[in-house]
Amino acid sequence: MTDRPRHDDLEVRAKALAPDMRPGSLRTSGGAAVWLEAAPAAPHRRRIGLLAPHDHASIRAFDGERSDVGRTLSVVYGPLSPDNAAALRDLLPDLRPRPLGLATSAGFGDRLGLATPGHVAGLRRAGAADTIRPIFAQQSIREMTRTGRTPRQVMDDATFGAFEAGWTGEVGADADHLKTEEDVHRTLEAGFAFFTIDPGDHVDDEASEAEGDALRTKIEALPWDQLEDRWEDLRGRWLGTRLDADGLPLSLDETALARAAAKYGAALAQAARLHRTLAASGRPFEIEFSVDETATPTTPEEHAFIARELARLGVPVVSLAPRFVGRFEKGVDYRGDLDELKGTLDAHARIARAFGPYKLSLHSGSDKFSVYPLIAEATRGRVHLKTAGTSYLEALRVAAVHAPDLFRKILRIGHKRFETDRASYLIGARLESVPGPRSLADEALPGLLDDDDARQVLHVTFGSALDAHGGDLLELLQRRRTAHEDALARHFERHLAPFVPYAHVEGATP
Ligand SMILES: [Zn+2]
């Protein structure tokens, strides 16, 4: 084994080898230097460079073209491949996602795989880099299906993006809206560490209003075996009990208890099942329980029921996403009564403190600018913000400015596909108020990204748009890297700044 070269020597030699290095990407670790640089054949594309002694383990671990540099060093130039992403995480372990605990956190879904450097820039601009833990790799199974990406691709794109931007802090990775054991296995294998269990298909929304025989039938039909429980026992635990949720008194009468059990019982059993799958893997994980996509809001009493019953079943949650009051539509600000929301956020936050502690998770959290200060304050920073489609809209903003023809094609698909593609989303947009692709001058196109109806139409038709024009859009974003990064940085600074006064990384009581 050759003596390890000094890190600053390696850096100097790496910079000499790589004039087109992506600034900020160069890192040294364990006697090797690694960076991203422009690929010579196509300068807007990236390749990985590695410089280390001939016999260094990483020289074999990275795949690519190898050549000698002087007497003792080798350089390897390789593609952004799955093997090289894994080798990079081995060399720089901070790039490997891990559970983030109760730290204030934000999830940045990235449907295109090129947004992470912009997300990093947004964290830095908001002054949140040290206090808000990021989850760059985050995609729901529904979105992976629509974008044709695998969990591994989502993970690797985030790894390369964080590396490119010189991010050295902790990162999480959110396998979002998992519904089946198969989903859990696939995302575990890809290295995800935060698992959002979505048992929404098992939530019985009708139970909120049920009574008499109908309610009794629902109770009898619950999977009591899997819940390791009986109705008499459940009654015994709850009725006549007055709970104190951090100063908020809560109690459920017989009807309220029966409705809560009927509404969420099967969902709790499903969560317990997916938790067992995770626990059996022997890997580090944390769980979010999400019921945000159900038809009826989660009342504070129901939330308390869920929290205490999850604890009884031994399902630990790091965050929980209730369905809040009002409308959390995709890609636009909150629609509803902010005073009412403020009151219920306070109640939900108290419950999360008293029966966890865990974070409140804000799903469909993109563009909810009026909600951020309320939830940050109510939770005292014990909160997870989850955004997804809004980054795609910022990518389209780059197209609207720099590639009007491409943007018009995507807008045309939006018009054609909206009524079909909106099916699984909460959306209030009216298609007839969105101008057609031919009716606007080029200069007016970017304005559509500031129009609520157009945003939603473009937001939900992403799968169809990417099927037809994904290649062109990716090409454009790589050529207009700086514009893309700036758009994202500006947008996410606005998302994150309201959380900063409350943000904290330690798990201690805020
Ligand atoms: Zn969600």
The predicted-structure confidence for 189-213, as pLDDT tens digits, reads as follows 999 999 999 999 999 999 999 999 9
pLDDT for res 8? 84
Domain membership flag for residue 301: yes
Q: Which of the pair, 425 or 81, is modelled with greater confidence?
A: 81
* Model confidence at 2: pLDDT above 60: no
d(CA 104, CA 91): 27
Q: How confident is the model at residue 23 (pLDDT cuts 50, 70, 90)?
A: confident
Helix (H, G, I), strand (E, B) or coil at 377: helix
Q: What's the average model confidence in pLDDT over 24-28?
A: 96
Asked if residue 360 lies in contact with residue 382, where contact means CB atoms within 8 angstroms, the answer is yes
Asked if residue 292 lies in contact with residue 196, where contact means CB atoms within 8 angstroms, the answer is no
Domain membership flag for residue 510: no
In the reported structure, the alpha carbon of residue 159 is separated from the centroid of ligand 1 by a whole-number distance in angstroms of 23
pLDDT for res 1? 47
Q: Are residues 437 and 326 in the same domain?
A: no
Residue 153 in tokens: 């691709």
Cα angle 470, 472, 476; round to 5: 115
Domain membership flag for residue 134: yes
Q: How confident is the model at residue 426 (pLDDT cuts 50, 70, 90)?
A: confident
Q: Which of 55, 73, 91 is the last residue of a domain?
A: 91
Please report, as a single letter, which amino acid is at residue 192: F
In the reported structure, the alpha carbon of residue 112 is separated from the centroid of ligand 1 by a whole-number distance in angstroms of 19
Asked if residue 483 lies in contact with residue 401, where contact means CB atoms within 8 angstroms, the answer is yes
Q: Are residues 405 and 283 in the same domain?
A: no
Q: Are residues 62 and 183 in the same domain?
A: no
In the reported structure, the alpha carbon of residue 328 is separated from the centroid of ligand 1 by a whole-number distance in angstroms of 10
pLDDT for res 227? 98
Domain membership flag for residue 507: no
- The range of the structural domain enclosing residue 447 comes to 390-481
d(CA 455, CA 95): 33
Asked if residue 331 lies in contact with residue 318, where contact means CB atoms within 8 angstroms, the answer is no
d(CA 263, CA 218): 9
pLDDT for res 146? 84
Q: Are residues 265 and 356 in the same domain?
A: yes
Which positions are annotated as active-site residues? 176, 288
Please give the helix or strand (H or E) that residue 354 lies within, else none.
Answer: helix 338-355
In the reported structure, the alpha carbon of residue 478 is separated from the centroid of ligand 1 by a whole-number distance in angstroms of 29
pLDDT for res 510? 39
Burial class from Cβ neighbours inside 10 Å (0-12, 13-18, 19+) for residue 8 reads exposed
Q: Which of 39, 72, 91 is the last residue of a domain?
A: 91
Q: Are residues 137 and 263 in the same domain?
A: yes
Domain membership flag for residue 278: yes
pTM attached to this predicted model: 0.95
- Residues less than 5 Å from ion ligand 1, measured at CB: 292, 363
Domain membership flag for residue 508: no
**Cα–Cα separations (whole angstroms), residue 465 to 43, 85, 111, 313, 374:** 26, 28, 12, 43, 35
Q: pLDDT tens digits for 123-145? A: 999 999 999 999 999 999 988 98
Give me the CATH number covering residue 297. Answer: 3.20.20.70
In the reported structure, the alpha carbon of residue 497 is separated from the centroid of ligand 1 by a whole-number distance in angstroms of 22
Q: What's the average model confidence in pLDDT over 71-93?
A: 97
Note the residue count of the chain.
Answer: 510
Helix (H, G, I), strand (E, B) or coil at 66: strand
Please report, as a single letter, which amino acid is at residue 177: H
Q: pLDDT tens digits for 245-254? A: 999 999 999 9
Helix (H, G, I), strand (E, B) or coil at 235: helix
Q: pLDDT tens digits for 260-281? A: 999 999 999 999 999 999 999 9
In the reported structure, the alpha carbon of residue 140 is separated from the centroid of ligand 1 by a whole-number distance in angstroms of 8
Cα angle 342, 291, 309; round to 5: 95
Q: Are residues 136 and 160 in the same domain?
A: yes
Helix (H, G, I), strand (E, B) or coil at 498: helix
In the reported structure, the alpha carbon of residue 326 is separated from the centroid of ligand 1 by a whole-number distance in angstroms of 15
Q: How confident is the model at residue 147 (pLDDT cuts 50, 70, 90)?
A: confident
d(CA 500, CA 502): 5
In the reported structure, the alpha carbon of residue 196 is separated from the centroid of ligand 1 by a whole-number distance in angstroms of 9
Q: What's the average model confidence in pLDDT over 418-426?
A: 87
Q: Are residues 439 and 345 in the same domain?
A: no
Return the beta strands (E) in 100-199 as ranges: 105-108, 133-140, 172-178, 194-197
Q: What is the DSSP letter of 177?
A: E
In the reported structure, the alpha carbon of residue 212 is separated from the centroid of ligand 1 by a whole-number distance in angstroms of 33
The total number of structural domains that make up the chain: 3
Question: Which residue do the tokens 């590396």 mark?
Answer: 163
* Model confidence at 290: pLDDT above 90: yes
In the reported structure, the alpha carbon of residue 357 is separated from the centroid of ligand 1 by a whole-number distance in angstroms of 21
In the reported structure, the alpha carbon of residue 138 is separated from the centroid of ligand 1 by a whole-number distance in angstroms of 11
In the reported structure, the alpha carbon of residue 100 is separated from the centroid of ligand 1 by a whole-number distance in angstroms of 19
* Model confidence at 3: pLDDT above 70: no
Where is average pLDDT lowest: 228-242, 402-416, 418-432, 439-453?
Answer: 418-432
Q: Which of the pair, 282 or 4, is modelled with greater confidence?
A: 282
Asked if residue 78 lies in contact with residue 62, where contact means CB atoms within 8 angstroms, the answer is yes
Nearest alpha-carbon partner for 275 in 265, 266, 285: 285
Q: How confident is the model at residue 175 (pLDDT cuts 50, 70, 90)?
A: very high
Please give the helix or strand (H or E) that residue 12 lies within, else none.
Answer: helix 7-17
Asked if residue 359 lies in contact with residue 379, where contact means CB atoms within 8 angstroms, the answer is yes
Q: What's the average model confidence in pLDDT over 64-81?
A: 96
Please report, as a single letter, which amino acid is at residue 411: L
Strand order in the sheet with 27-29: 27-29, 32-39, 42-53, 73-78, 65-69
Domain membership flag for residue 269: yes
Q: Are residues 222 and 340 in the same domain?
A: yes
Q: Are residues 425 and 302 in the same domain?
A: no
**100-112 per-residue burial string, b: 16 or more CB within 10 A, e: under 16:** bbbbbbbbbbbbb
In the reported structure, the alpha carbon of residue 351 is separated from the centroid of ligand 1 by a whole-number distance in angstroms of 20
Q: Which of 73, 91, 109 is the last residue of a domain?
A: 91
Mean pLDDT of the residues in the chain: 95
Q: Are residues 314 and 436 in the same domain?
A: no
**Cα–Cα separations (whole angstroms), residue 81 to 151, 155, 161, 336:** 14, 12, 13, 45
Helix (H, G, I), strand (E, B) or coil at 68: strand
Q: What's the average model confidence in pLDDT over 371-396?
A: 97
Q: Are residues 196 and 337 in the same domain?
A: yes
In the reported structure, the alpha carbon of residue 66 is separated from the centroid of ligand 1 by a whole-number distance in angstroms of 45
Q: pLDDT tens digits for 431-450? A: 999 999 999 999 999 999 99
Q: Are residues 78 and 102 in the same domain?
A: no
Domain membership flag for residue 47: yes
